[in-house]
Amino acid sequence: MSEEDVIPPAARLVRDFVNTFEPQVDEESLTTPDQLRDWFAGRGLLPPGARLRAADLAVARAVREGLRAVLLGHAGHPADPAALSRLDQALAEVPVRMTFTETGPRLVAVRDAVFDQALAALLDAVRQCGAEQSWARLKACARDTCRWAYYDASRNQARRWCSMAGCGNYVKMRRAYAVRRRRATAGPDTP
């Protein structure tokens, strides 16, 4: 079983949405409303021919970066208050309500706009993560240039990096180098 296999579908959806922007290489996957539509349609959250507006793209990106800030908090870092404020403002643009089905509660959009429906489904995935206790396992990488979202499947939920082989080694090697450099410049008599 791979690490990807243990990630609940709702957590995977949220993680993948946050990772539509990769800060480390400044790579944006959602540059047009059509790309946003294709991303949602590819996950069954929108019909393939739906039309989205530039305003929808702006709201989606604000939600994404707000979620990234929340995931940084899950990893023990202070969340950017401005990103959280923009998240709250964006969510106010797309009101949702609770509904009940035979499978349990769900969040759905109040309005019939296709973007509202897709975003409500994404928010319902966040709700579902909370219900299945996977929400706190979604984190953003501790490497300040990375911030890639990942699912912490470790037993003690103490993972700090998206990848130990990549970001974890980089951060640890930089720390070790800084310690060696400090010792070398401090001299032999310095504790």
Q: What is the pTM of this model?
A: 0.84
The domain segmentation of the chain, as residue ranges, is 3-157, 161-191
pLDDT by position in tens, the chain (length 191):
677 788 999 999 999 999 999 888 889 999 999 999 999 999 999 998 999 999 999 999 999 999 999 999 998 888 889 999 999 999 998 899 999 989 889 999 999 999 999 999 999 999 999 999 999 999 998 877 788 899 998 888 767 667 655 575 545 555 554 556 666 677 666 55
Query: What residues have CB less than 8 Å from 116, skipping those under 6 apart?
Result: 94, 95, 109, 110
Q: How is domain 3-157 classified at the CATH fold level?
A: Jann2411-like fold (1.10.3300)
Distance in angstroms (rounded) separating the CA atoms of residues 153 and 1: 12
User: Residue 94: enclosing H or E segment and its boundaries?
Assistant: none
